Amino acid sequence: MPKVSESDLSERRSEILLGARECFVSHGYDGATVSRLEKTTGKSRGAIFHHFHNKETLFREVAHRDMQLMTRLASERGMIGLIRYILDEPELAEWWSLRVEITRRIRTDGELRTTWHADQRALKQAVTARLEEQRASGRLRTDISTETTLQLLELVLEGVMAHLASDRGSDRLPAALDIVEHSLRAS
């Protein structure tokens, strides 16, 4: 039997995570049955569970990877830039559905809760560092604390995600984000 290279294994793992994410978003954790996971990933249950111990492990990894992406984007673009990216990229607009499942599952899955809290701290640190950098450069208002600005941006993110999840359309959201962004800039 031929040996599978590390890059092939990594590619298969990524394909499984992509398909599993789609399945969790579409059907929720409970509805993401093994047969649905097989269908959306295009892999057999043996292949899926070769890479991930069980469905819980797979879900945790999907959630963790999404948070890593959001943290990277927030670090590079700022929170408003992250929100604009979510509006432009349909696969992240679906993130709200996944987040609902995460919120539901962290009550009963201690390992997910631990990872989720660590991921939330990393996102908060990335956004705080970006805000402090903008404040130091004179681009951000100094009469509002970094903590308050962060809380406002978190509320905006949650509101945008809830808005997208309710299918109310997002055509006016960029203009609303312009107002938020302008209100935080130094005069």
Q: What's the rounded Cα separation, in Å, for the pair 136 and 4?
A: 50
Q: Where residue 98 falls among pLDDT bands split at 50, 70, 90?
A: confident
pLDDT digits (tens, 9 = 90+) for 124-176: 999 999 999 999 999 999 999 999 999 999 999 988 888 877 766 668 889 99
Q: Domain spans of the chain? A: 1-52, 61-184
* C-alpha triplet 170, 176, 177: angle, nearest 5°: 95
Write down the pLDDT at residue 138: 94
Instruction: Grade residue 59 by pLDDT with cuts at 50, 70 and 90.
Output: very high
d(CA 102, CA 107): 9
Taking the C-alpha atoms of residue 81 and residue 77, their distance in angstroms, rounded to an integer, is 5
Q: Is CATH 1.10.760.10 the classification given to domain 61-184? A: no
Q: What is the pTM of this model?
A: 0.85
What's the length of the chain? 187
Q: Does 61-184 match 1-52 at the fold level?
A: no
- Residue 185 has a pLDDT of 94
Query: Residue 18 in contact with residue 43, Cβ under 8 Å?
Result: no
Tokens of residue 111, six digits? 């390992």
pLDDT in the model for residue 168: 66
**Identity (one letter) of the amino acid at 67?**
M
Average pLDDT over residues 68-91: 89
What are the Cα distances from residue 110, in Å, to 59, 107, 115? 13, 7, 9
Query: Which DSSP string corresponds to 64-115?
Result: HHHHHHHHHHHHHHHHHHHHHHHHH-HHHHTHHHHHHHHHHHTTT-HHHHHH
pLDDT mean across residues, the chain: 89
Residue 169 and residue 41: Cα distance in Å, rounded?
A: 29
What 8-state DSSP symbol labels residue 144?
Answer: S
Minimum mean pLDDT range among 65-74, 81-90, 174-183? 81-90
Class in CATH terms, 1-52: mainly alpha
**Mean predicted confidence (pLDDT) in 28-32:** 93
pLDDT of residue 164: 77
Q: What is the pLDDT of residue 64?
A: 95
